[in-house]
Every structure is written in structure tokens, then in C-alpha cells.
Amino acid sequence: MLNYILRQTLMMIPTLIVISIIAFAIIQLPPGDFLSTYVSQLTASGADVDDATIQALNRRYGLDQPIYVQYIKWVTGMLRGDFGQSFEWNRPVNTLIWSRLGLTVLVSSVTMIVTWLIAFPIGVYSATHQYSIGDYLATFFAFVGVAIPNFMLALVLMWIAFSVFGQSVGGLFSPEFIDAPWSWARVWDMLKRLWIPVLVIGTAGTAGLIRTLRANLLDELGKPYVVTARAKGVSERRLLFKYPLRVALIPFVSTVGWMLPQLISGETITAVVLNLPTTGPLLLRALQSQDMYLAGSFIMMLSALTVLGTLISDIILALVDPTIRYE
């Protein structure tokens, strides 16, 4: 087992190196670079930038150096924990990401917990009560939940919050609490707003989860071992939780690691629409403006988390699924 974990861990290193190259290349793919974006934005707002200034900025950002030099500079910096400088923010990338990470993880983990709390009972219910009215209702809402685009739901909920409850919308806090230190009042203020993003991001996840759990469980419920157990007089509840549910969970476990990157970037579109101070909009902005090091470091971080998550999944899977071999 230990060997298995070690081997999987070592495998991460070449994977990450390849990812770093791809990440860097992807950012370079769109035509132009940060500077052309920057200058065109200035021009869009009415300013004019002369060519001498553009060349000077090019030198300052090191954009006149060959691609591989830029890459090596970035990668070696990363080994020291220095992710480089964001052009647009004129700030070290680290500080930018850290300042938003707390709230991001908070929103995502609350959403995830709520999703599970809702989806698991419903999923189990609709599998065990297949074709009942409850199952049809759950299925109906699940499909609706999958079908509605998040941004749309966000806009509708915001409109309701605004027009029915007269709540000020957008962001995670009311203006007076944005800069305030943590207090119960601030927590309460946040909870009053948190339900919208949680509901919006949660619906799609909940719906998907219900459907997967239902299908997995239905596969198991008809198997002979269940029939045998039932014939031997095991109570329905005990039977369900002891055998089929555990087996039905295996596909979940194998993807549970992907929750890690989800924690950071899962809510991008919703966060943009809802004006949340999370990392998603920061990433989007960095990609749009080709803020190379910020975007690259983000992609790198997400990839590292995915790889790490996969490792965790593998380990958990090895623990719960006796059919896994360590060879």
C-alpha cells in the first residue's frame, strides 16, 4: 500500500512539468499579448498611447524576451514559491490569489456540503422508490436544475431578492460590512447573501448527483446478493446501507478528488454575475487580459490540485474498493 502511494506521488512530478509547459503555451496561444490588451483598453476609454511608451512597457514587462526565457524565469521562480508578478495589478501573484482564497473556499465548501445534504437522501429515495410520484418529482427538478444555466438562475434570484425582499444585491457583504472586522453581525450579513450563490452553484451539482446516485444504486439493487440478503431477513434499511449504497458510492469516490480544483474555480461564471470577491473572476480577468504570470500560476495551481485530488481519490478508492490491485 505504501509502495502504491509512493509510486503515485512520484508520477505527479513529470505530470506537473508537462502541465506547466502546456499552461504556459496555452496562455501564449491567443494573438497579441498583455500589452496589446492593455493599450487597446486604454484606447477604448479614450486615451492614446504613443509607440515609444509601448516599447518601453514591453521592456519593462520582459515581453521582448524569447518565450523560453520567460518560461524558465517563471518556472524557476515557482520552485522558490514566487509565482511572478501580475502585469495588470503590478503585484506579486501570490498576494492576489491568497487575498481571495479564504472566501472562495468558504463559498465552495458550503455549497458542496449543502449539495450533498440535499442530493444524497433524494438520490437514495428516488432509487428505492423508483417510478413513484416522489421519484418523478425529484427527477423533474433534477433535470430542470441541470438545464437552467447558472448565470440565468443567478440573475433571476437576484431580481427576486431585490424586488421582493428589497435586499441590496451583489457581493457577499453589504457595503458597510465589506471592510469591517469579523463579528456576528458580519457573519449574519453574509449568511443573508450566501444563499444565492449556494443555491445557484448547488442546483446543477445537486441535480447531477441525484441522477448519478439513483442510476448507480438501481444497478446494484437488482443484483442477486441483494435478493439473497433480503431473503435471509436483513432489514431493508440495514441492507441498503450495508451493501448496495457502498458499492454505488465507488464512482463518487473516484471523482471526489476533482472537488479540490472545483473549490477554487467551480463558480467562475456565477461569481462574475453575482460580483463575488472570489478567485474565479480574477482568473477570468487574467485570461482575458493575457496577464501571463497570473493566469499561468492559476492554471498551474488548478492542475496541481487536480493531480493531488486524483491521488487522494486513488488512495481512498484503494481503501474502499477491495477489487483494486496495487500492481
Q: Which residues bind another protein (CB under 8 A)?
A: 30-32, 36-37, 39-48, 50-53, 55-56, 59-60, 82, 85, 88-92, 94-96, 99-100, 155, 158-159, 162, 166, 168-171, 173, 175, 178-179, 272-275, 277, 281, 285, 290
Q: Which is nearer to another protein, 132 or 275 (CB)?
A: 275
Smallest separation, CB 233 to another protein (Å): 59
Smallest separation, CB 50 to another protein (Å): 5
State the Cα torsion 176-178-182-183 to the nearest 10°: 30
Smallest separation, CB 92 to another protein (Å): 4
Q: DSSP letter at 274?
A: H
> CA–CA separation, 179 vs 173, rounded Å?
9
Angle formed at CA 27 by CA 78 and CA 274, multiple of 5 degrees: 95
Smallest separation, CB 59 to another protein (Å): 7
Q: Which is nearer to another protein, 179 or 327 (CB)?
A: 179
Q: Which is nearer to another protein, 11 or 160 (CB)?
A: 160
Question: Residue 85: helix, strand or coil by DSSP?
Answer: strand
Smallest separation, CB 244 to another protein (Å): 45
> CA–CA separation, 146 vs 259, rounded Å?
18
Q: Which is nearer to another protein, 297 or 310 (CB)?
A: 297
Q: Which is nearer to another protein, 97 or 213 (CB)?
A: 97
Give the CB-side neighbour count of residue 67, counting CA atoms within 13 A.
10
Helical residues (DSSP H) of the chain, grouped into ranges: 2-28, 34-44, 51-60, 67-79, 93-128, 133-147, 150-163, 175-178, 184-221, 224-231, 236-242, 244-248, 250-255, 259-265, 268-274, 279-288, 292-320
Smallest separation, CB 175 to another protein (Å): 6
For 90, the grid coordinates are: 503590478
For 104, the grid coordinates are: 472562495
Smallest separation, CB 222 to another protein (Å): 48
Q: Which is nearer to another protein, 168 or 228 (CB)?
A: 168
> CA–CA separation, 69 vs 67, rounded Å?
5
Smallest separation, CB 155 to another protein (Å): 6
Q: Which is nearer to another protein, 55 or 109 (CB)?
A: 55
> CA–CA separation, 295 vs 79, rounded Å?
17
Smallest separation, CB 275 to another protein (Å): 5
Cα torsion angle, 150, 261, 37, 39, sign: positive
Q: Which is nearer to another protein, 97 or 240 (CB)?
A: 97
> CA–CA separation, 185 vs 187, rounded Å?
5
Nearest to residue 264, comparing CAs of 99, 100, 93? 100
Q: Which is nearer to another protein, 283 or 317 (CB)?
A: 283
If you search the block for the grid coordinates 439473497, which residue do you land on?
228
Q: DSSP letter at 86?
A: E
